[in-house]
Chains A and B, each alone.
Chain A
Amino acid sequence: MASSAMVTANQLIIMEELKLFRTWSSPFALRVVWALDLKGIQYDTIFEDISNKSSLLLQYNPIYKKVPVLVHNGKPLLESLVILEYIDETWKQTPLLPEDPSERATARFWAKFGDDKVLPSIWNVFIKQGKDQEEAIVTAQENLGFVERQLTGKKFFNGETIGLVDLAFGWLANLLSVLEEVCGATLIDHEKFPLLLEWIQNFAYAPIIKESWPPRDKLITKYQAHHEVYTSKEAPK
């Protein structure tokens, strides 16, 4: 009798409310999916339609009106990298960040570099044409070069196991090739980026990670539509 009462009490304690607002394609929301799944945390998913955002999403994220939003026991968390650190601090299994403060600072630096520099420079290649695109490719490859060197002697950015920086760069493992295919530019090749290509293979097929990739054909269609909008605005040079 006593033991089943204890089991019931434990079950009540474990049942926290965790909701993730995401879209099927958002690479930022995917980071949160991976973090929760890697840690074996249970949560509910609410898929948003970006052209018709739910009033709940707008209530939780009035400033940016974007996904991902993670709501934990009614309290909203915004911005994927902030959410990842929150998850890591709240659920200690399968740590995403190292313990050493200097290594943590390095991880945070690379995650930020990815979002502030690498992603916008690759997006620039995607939306530009002609000479502008050629220049954009130079910048993007410079940035990717820094990232490539970070993988020297390591399987993942985090070392032997996947960590925050790997999740932050996750979009390189699926979205990059979609953008390359749609806009016709090749950014990474075996000659210049062997480590990055190897990382992409290791990451894309890693357990847990591989369960959540959005369908590639749907991504191609989506980004083809984007590309048409951008390239019809600009006169080719």
Chain B
Amino acid sequence: MFGMRVRIALAEKGIKYEYKEEDLKNKSPLLLEMNPIKKQIPVLIHNGKPVCESLIIVQYIDEVWNDKSPLLPSDPYQRAQARFWADFVDKKVFGDAQKVCSTKGEEQEAGKKEFLETLKTLEVELGDKPYFGGETFGYVDLSFITFYSWFHAYEVLGNINIEAECPKIIAWAKRCMQKEAVAKTLPDQKKVYEEHVARLRKMFVSE
């Protein structure tokens, strides 16, 4: 999800790069050298120097390749708004979604309620704009759209209907999916769900 944000940003700007898939159970020495503190992906290595944390990487990309497809607005107040909402996505969507996917019973019910409230808050912020960024796809859109490939999984595991609850969010997501950079990067929703279930099954079998 977080690595995808960087790949969408690079695709939007037409930047060529080398992609190295990591096995998180067997991290490469290069990854551990470039991100010794968090030991996580994504890491962007540019001219030998590492940049870590997906949203920090996206801002870096926007600042270095500033001649094409700006991701953040140029006005400082609009930029602050964009940073606030991307931070909100990071703080709320990820945590809430995890509760939907990996808890049961009362805890899951509470998690579902929070998750849908979070989506509704985002829906209000989106309003009638085509994108969170306004007329064009931008920083907030990028930070949130990567969760879209998990929507089917959230719906099945949580027994919720996101389109019924937040139709504008689904409409926005479909609009984003029409962009080549997004469509090429996001995995298929059903595939994501099946891989998640397969992972869970493996965990139970090995226990």
Q: List chain B residues, Cβ under 8 A from A90.
A: 76
- Structural contact, A108 and B80, CB atoms closer than 8 A: no
Residues in chain A near residue B53, CB distance under 8 A: 108-109, 112
Within 8 A of B (CB), among A60-93: 63, 72, 75, 77-79, 82-83, 85-86, 89-90
- Tell yes or no: B60 within 8 A of A by CB: yes
Most buried by B among A78, A89, A90, A101: A101
B60 lies within 8 A of A105 (CB)? yes
Interface centre among B52, B60, B76, B79 (most CB of A within 10 A): B76
Chain B: residues with Cβ within 8 Å of the partner, total of: 22
Interface residues in B22-48 by Cβ distance below 8 A to A read 37-38, 46
Q: Is B161 an interface residue (CB 8 A)?
A: no
Q: Does B159 contact A (CB under 8 A)?
A: no
Query: Is B83 positioned at the interface, with any CB of A under 8 Å from its CB?
Result: yes
- Is B166 close to A, CB under 8 A? no
Q: Once the chains bind, are A77 and B56 in contact (CB under 8 Å)?
A: no
Residues of B within 8 A of A112 (CB): 53, 56
Residue of A nearest to B80 (CB): A86
A192 contacts chain B at the CB level, 8 A cutoff: no
Cα distance A75–B57 in the bound complex, in angstroms: 28
A105 to B63, CA, bound (A): 10
Let me know if A213 is at the binding interface, CB within 8 A.
Answer: no
Task: Say yes or no for A104: interface residue by CB 8 A criterion.
Answer: yes
**Inside 8 A of A108's CB, which chain B residues have their CB?**
53, 56, 59
Docked-complex contact B80 and A109, CB < 8 angstroms: no
- For A104, the chain B residues whose CB sits under 8 A away are 59-60, 63
Given contacts A63-B121, A86-B76, contact A101 B63 (CB under 8 A): yes
Residues on the B chain within 8 Å of A102, using CB: 46, 49, 51, 60
Is A113 an interface residue, CB under 8 A from the partner? yes
Contact with B along A97-136 (1 / 0, CB 8 A): 0000110110011001100000000000000000000000
Interface size of A as a range: 20 to 34
Interface presence of B172 (CB below 8 A):
no
Interface pair B60/A82, CB less than 8 Å apart: no
Is B37 a contact partner of A72 (Cβ separation < 8 A)? Answer: no
State A101–B49 Cα separation when bound (angstroms): 11
Question: In whole Å, how far is A133's beta carbon from the nearest beta carbon of chain B?
Answer: 24
Against A, the Cβ 8 Å flags (1 = close, 0 = not) of B62-105 are 01100000000000110110011001100000000000000000
Contact B77–A109 (Cβ < 8 Å)? no
Residue A146 interfacial (CB < 8 Å): yes
A82 to B83, CA, bound (A): 6
In whole angstroms, what is the CA distance A136 to B77 when docked? 39
List chain A residues, Cβ under 8 A from B83.
79, 82, 85
Least CB distance, B114 to chain A, in whole angstroms: 13
Residues of B within 8 A of A63 (CB): 88, 121
Please report the C-alpha to C-alpha distance between residue A82 and residue B38 in the assembled complex, in whole angstroms: 22
Q: Which residues of A contact B60 (CB under 8 A)?
A: 101-102, 104-105
Q: How far apart are A19's CB and chain B's nearest CB, in angstroms? A: 15
Contact digits for A156-193, partner B, Cβ 8 Å, 1 yes 0 no: 00000000000000000000000000000000000000
Q: Contact at B52–A109, with CB atoms within 8 Å?
A: yes
Roughly how many angstroms separate A104 CA and B76 CA in the complex, as a whole number?
Answer: 16
CA distance A215 to B25 in the complex (A): 48
Chain A residue nearest to B35 (CB atoms) is A109
A63 to B63, CA, bound (A): 29
Known: A104-B63, A105-B59, A146-B37. A79 touches B76 (CB 8 A): no
In the bound complex, CA of A79 to CA of B49 (Å) = 29
Structural contact, A105 and B80, CB atoms closer than 8 A: no
Contact among A72, A105, A146 with B77 in the assembled complex (CB-CB below 8 Å) = A72
Known interface pairs A63-B121, A105-B57; 6 further A-B residue pairs with C-beta atoms within 8 A, sorted by A's residue number: A82-B84, A101-B63, A101-B64, A102-B60, A104-B60, A146-B37
Can you give 15 A-B contacts (C-beta < 8 A)?
A75-B77, A82-B84, A82-B87, A83-B80, A86-B76, A86-B77, A89-B79, A101-B63, A101-B64, A102-B46, A102-B51, A105-B60, A112-B53, A113-B37, A113-B38
**List of 4 A-B pairs having minimum Cβ-Cβ separation, nearest first:** A89-B76, A101-B63, A86-B80, A105-B60
